[in-house]
Amino acid sequence: MTTIKDVSRLANVSISTVSRVINKSANVAPEKVKAVLDAMAELNFVPNSFAQALVNKRSNCIGVMVGDLCGGPFFAQMMRGIEAEIFPANKYVIVMSGNHNHEREKNCIEALLLRRCDALIVHSKALSDDELVDIKRSNPQTPIVFVNRLIKRLEDRCVYVDIQQGMEQGIEYLISKGHTRIAYIASDETNNPDAKARMDGYKNILCKAGIPFDENLVSSGFPNENGGYQAIEALLMRDAGFTAFMAYNDAMAVGAMSALMENNIAIPQQISAVGYDDNPISGFIKPKLTTVRYPIEEVGQRAAQLALSILEQKEREEREKDHQNDRNYPKLEDLTPIKYPEPETLFFIPKLIERSSVSSITK
């Protein structure tokens, strides 16, 4: 296996010079840089990324913590958006799953930091705002961007969606179709900020429409297909008398629709259904599911753009510091300004996608 010594010998330079060229850690004469690069190419030498990380404190990796890698396509869509920005920047992605568990989220973030990731993109639901602020303050050298959440004091590092407004759009749509007995298939993860925002949206629109909130119309379960199935079964068992439902997410909506069809209840002729997320499957089931589109891929892409912009600015400042005595090295003010995402582009609004799972109530 080719080693740095082989490169040094072929390029006729010292090992330390080869190391400096690889890590770009100090000035090296152009002719020596060329000699080293030519030798590396001839020998097919690939630098050890772990060793580089120890030397220059860079891993060339972006760490990503998602909620659940195995819980459906939601986080897969987010990862597609992240990778669309990260890979063209010649960086790699390390992904860990926090499973919305407090200790696991803390451990995942710590592990990504210990791995010397150049920046982190974090989807956290179990950690409090104060805990996330402390993590950010304790690691000032690592850019951290938070997705699907607005954290006070870190607003410029957050890429998020107005979740409550999405819920309001769905309920408002059902009301416009004449429905007043609208059930809500809720998540049983009550400490989840998303769960609170969606419940608030449900209650808010009912109140605006003059429809009393009825606890009997709310049924919760784990936010997947099985949870939706069980939640709708509970509503049927207690004879809640609803003509429509909106679910916490599309997975729960699909599970609920399956339970209704097994009970010979037609959708949308007898009960109308609305989901949330615009999961790809929602357009292929029968009937096709009316839902609220959560632009998760765009959120992931924007989060990656923000992380890379912050990282580039940080690296420019470090390079200027390393070359502060080099008059020929460009100063920060002489470089093309880094293009950060505009603040208003860090905020997304969901959109109702009308399909065929809702019918009007005729009077």
Q: Where are the domains of the chain?
A: 4-56, 61-161+297-348, 163-294
Instruction: Convert the pLDDT of each residue in 221-269 to its tens digit.
Output: 999 999 999 999 999 999 999 999 999 999 999 999 999 999 999 999 9
Instruction: Convert the pLDDT of each residue in 337-351 to its tens digit.
Output: 777 888 889 999 999
Is 163-294 the same fold as 61-161+297-348? yes
> Residue type for 69, please?
L
Q: Residue 282: its pLDDT value, please? A: 93
Pick the CATH number of 4-56 from 1.20.1250.30, 1.10.260.40, 2.40.50.140, 3.40.47.10: 1.10.260.40
> What is the percentage of the chain residues whose pLDDT exceeds 90?
66
Q: Residue 334: its pLDDT value, please? A: 56
Q: Residue 93: its pLDDT value, please? A: 95
- 160's enclosing H/E stretch is strand 158-161
> Residue type for 44, please?
N
Instruction: Convert the pLDDT of each residue in 140-181 to its tens digit.
Output: 989 999 999 999 999 999 999 999 999 999 999 999 999 999
Q: Residue 202: its pLDDT value, please? A: 98
CATH class label, 163-294: alpha beta
Mean pLDDT computed over 215-222: 96
Question: In a 3-state reduction of DSSP, which class is residue 58?
Answer: coil
Q: Residue 44: its pLDDT value, please? A: 87
Of 250, 283, 247, 288, the C-alpha closest to 267 is 288
The overall average pLDDT reported for the chain is: 89
Beta-sheet strand order (sheet of 244-247): 218-221, 182-187, 244-247, 272-277, 290-293, 351-353
Q: Which residues pair with 93 in a beta bridge?
A: 62
Mean pLDDT computed over 12-35: 80
Rounded Cα distance, 176 and 209, in Å: 10
Q: Residue 107: its pLDDT value, please? A: 96
Residue 2 pLDDT grade (very low, low, confident, very high; cuts 50, 70, 90):
confident
User: Whole-model pTM?
Assistant: 0.80
Question: In a 3-state reduction of DSSP, which class is residue 339?
Answer: coil
Q: Residue 69: its pLDDT value, please? A: 79
Quick check: 122 pLDDT over 60?
A: yes
CATH class label, 61-161+297-348: alpha beta
Quick check: 28 pLDDT over 60?
A: yes
Instruction: Convert the pLDDT of each residue in 71-89 to its tens digit.
Output: 678 888 999 999 999 999 9
